[in-house]
């Protein structure tokens, strides 16, 4: 069968399959570019089931791009809490401001301009353009890559630049004229529900007659995976610093990993340093105060995209010095019950939950009284 013929069958079968099997997702009940943009940003690196409640809560509070613009970033981060990859929330807020100030609150309709907004890459630009504006623009995410590598039997890693480029060209070539909106979503759904990374359900696949990987029994071998080097591991110490029944928290600088989020002060252990020495040094560098390190509260293991940490949380007592935001954006002394008003990274959330459990039956003054040694 010739390639063009295969592409035609692919278009026809995929669209017919989508009409029957499309997933009913909240963002598919609208053509509002703002809502579609929001869903696409949330779906980057995150499963559909996790995204749905966040998407609904977000739209309830910020029903328009103007409403999002008017909100302080802190509130946006708080609503994002638990979804991870917080740079997405910061970029969302910045992009909303640009849409309102430079485009009068209307989303630009070309992929080039969409692509220039913070947090919108080539995939997201293509998704918004095709789904919200009905433009014949391609999309290429992990799901689409997998389907294309299998159907067209591409035996090179999609992470290689040349292969990636080739896949983008292919994703554009296969779009049926005027139908990118449904075709792209069909490809995404097929990758998410049938042509899954492991054990694809080829027997139920609308592309089984033209799939070159299936024909060669290579569906479990494609796409070719590029070996990743093992991610480094760091020990990190964090302090629950008590003073007069309040706890000291600080806010990370807006740039960089977890920017704008609040956390318990601390940082990465240097070689030849004990965790306690590390904590005293980090708190001194971050906030210019001296502390006394007490008992270990808990240990949390957490994996980020490029590294893993073991976070050791200690209860500490404030000793001397006036806190200053030396290596952080801000700091606050807050009561235990007030901590829920701040957005914390996931690893800190686990500390919070241990902390709440430990003091569930004690009021804040009792905590201080039961820890005279701290
Ligand atoms: S036949 Fe199997 S490998 Fe090929 S596209 Fe369908 S699910 Fe994927």
HEC string for 285-310? HHHCCEEEEEEEEEEEEEECCCCEEE
Q: Which two tokens stand for residue 66?
A: 């103007």
Hey, whose CA ends up nearest to atom 3 of ligand 1?
219
- Measured in whole angstroms, how far is the alpha carbon of residue 128 from the centre of its chain? 18
Catalytic residues: 40
Atom of ligand 1 nearest to the CA of 205: 6
Tokens 């820890």, residue? 371
Domains recognised in the chain with CATH numbers: 3-215 (1.10.340.30), 233-370 (3.90.79.10)
Segment 190-193 long-range contacts (CB within 8 Å, at least 24 positions apart)? 190/14, 190/17, 190/143, 190/147, 191/141, 191/142, 191/143, 191/144, 191/146, 191/147, 192/23, 192/48, 192/143, 193/21, 193/23
Q: What is the pLDDT of residues 281-335, one digit of tens each?
A: 999 999 999 999 999 999 999 998 889 999 999 999 999 999 999 999 999 999 9
Hey, whose CA ends up nearest to atom 2 of ligand 1?
202
Alpha carbon of 207 to ligand 1 centroid (Å): 6
Instruction: Please choose from 192, 203, 219 the residue to mutate so as to test ligand 1's pocket, defined by most ligand atoms within 8 A of CB.
Output: 219
Q: For residues 324 and 75, what is the distance between their CA atoms, to the nearest angstrom? A: 24
Q: Which pLDDT value is given to residue 167?
A: 97
Atom of ligand 1 nearest to the CA of 146: 8
Specify the DSSP class assigned to residue 195.
S
Q: Which two tokens stand for residue 68?
A: 């999002």
Alpha carbon of 266 to ligand 1 centroid (Å): 48
Atom of ligand 1 nearest to the CA of 147: 5
Cβ-based neighbours of 239, under 8 Å, separated by 6 or more: 248, 264, 265, 266, 279, 283, 291, 293, 313, 314, 315, 316
Instruction: Please choose from 205, 210, 220 the residue to mutate so as to test ligand 1's pocket, defined by most ligand atoms within 8 A of CB.
Output: 205
Residues 133, 135, 137, 141: is their CA dihedral positive or negative? positive
Alpha carbon of 35 to ligand 1 centroid (Å): 31
- Could you check whether the bond before residue 223 is cis, i.e. omega within 30 degrees of 0? yes
The set of protein residues with a Cβ atom below 6 angstroms from ligand 1 is 147, 150-151, 194-195, 200, 202, 205, 207-208, 211, 213-214, 219
Alpha carbon of 211 to ligand 1 centroid (Å): 6
Q: What does the longest C-alpha to C-alpha distance in the chain come to?
A: 81
Q: Which pLDDT value is given to residue 366?
A: 47
Alpha carbon of 227 to ligand 1 centroid (Å): 23
Per-residue pLDDT of the chain (374 residues; tens, 9 = 90+): 888 999 999 999 999 999 999 999 999 999 999 999 999 999 998 999 999 999 999 999 999 999 999 999 999 999 999 898 899 999 999 999 999 999 999 999 999 999 999 999 999 999 999 999 999 999 999 999 999 999 999 999 999 999 999 999 999 999 999 999 999 999 999 999 999 999 999 999 999 999 999 999 999 999 999 888 889 999 999 999 999 999 999 999 988 888 899 999 999 999 999 999 999 999 999 999 999 999 999 999 999 888 999 999 999 999 999 999 999 999 999 999 999 999 999 999 999 999 999 988 776 544 454 444 44
Alpha carbon of 283 to ligand 1 centroid (Å): 54
Rg (Cα) of the chain, in Å, rounded?
25
Atom of ligand 1 nearest to the CA of 211: 4
Instruction: Please choose from 202, 212, 223 the residue to mutate so as to test ligand 1's pocket, defined by most ligand atoms within 8 A of CB.
Output: 202
């Amino acid at each position: 069968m010739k390639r063009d013929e295969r592409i035609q069958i692919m278009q026809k079968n995929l669209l017919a399959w989508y009409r029957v099997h499309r997933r009913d997702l909240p963002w598919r009940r609208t053509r509002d570019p703002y809502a579609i943009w929001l869903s696409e940003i949330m779906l980057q690196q995150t499963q559909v089931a996790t995204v749905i409640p966040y998407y609904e809560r977000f739209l309830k509070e910020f029903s328009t791009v103007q409403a999002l613009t008017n909100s302080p970033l802190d509130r946006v981060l708080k609503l994002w809490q638990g979804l991870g990859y917080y740079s997405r929330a910061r970029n969302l807020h910045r992009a909303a401001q640009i849409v309102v100030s430079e485009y009068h609150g209307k989303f630009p309709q070309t992929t080039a301009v969409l692509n220039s907004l913070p947090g919108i890459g080539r995939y997201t630009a293509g998704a918004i353009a095709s789904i919200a504006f009905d433009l014949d623009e391609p999309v290429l995410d992990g799901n689409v890559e997998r389907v294309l590598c299998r159907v067209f039997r591409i035996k090179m890693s999609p992470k290689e630049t040349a292969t990636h480029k080739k896949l983008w060209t292919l994703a554009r070539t296969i779009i049926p004229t005027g139908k990118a909106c449904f075709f792209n979503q069909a490809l995404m759904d097929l990758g998410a529900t049938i042509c899954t990374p492991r054990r694809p359900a080829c027997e139920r696949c609308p592309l089984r007659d033209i799939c070159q990987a299936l024909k060669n029994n290579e569906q479990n071998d494609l796409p070719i995976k590029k070996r990743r080097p093992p991610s480094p591991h760091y020990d990190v110490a964090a302090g629950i610093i008590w003073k007069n029944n309040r706890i000291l928290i600080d806010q990370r600088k807006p740039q960089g990993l977890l920017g704008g989020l609040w956390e318990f002060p601390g940082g990465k252990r240097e070689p030849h340093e004990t965790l306690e020495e590390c904590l005293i040094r980090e708190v001194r560098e971050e906030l210019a105060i001296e502390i006394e390190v007490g008992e270990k509260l808990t240990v949390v293991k957490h994996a980020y995209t490029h590294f893993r940490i073991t976070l050791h949380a200690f209860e500490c007592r404030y000793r001397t010095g006036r806190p200053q935001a030396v290596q952080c954006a801000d700091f606050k002394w807050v009561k235990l019950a007030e901590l829920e008003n701040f957005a914390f990274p996931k690893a800190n959330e686990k500390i919070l939950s241990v902390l709440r459990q430990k003091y569930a039956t004690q009021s804040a003054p009792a905590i201080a009284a039961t820890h005279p040694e701290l």
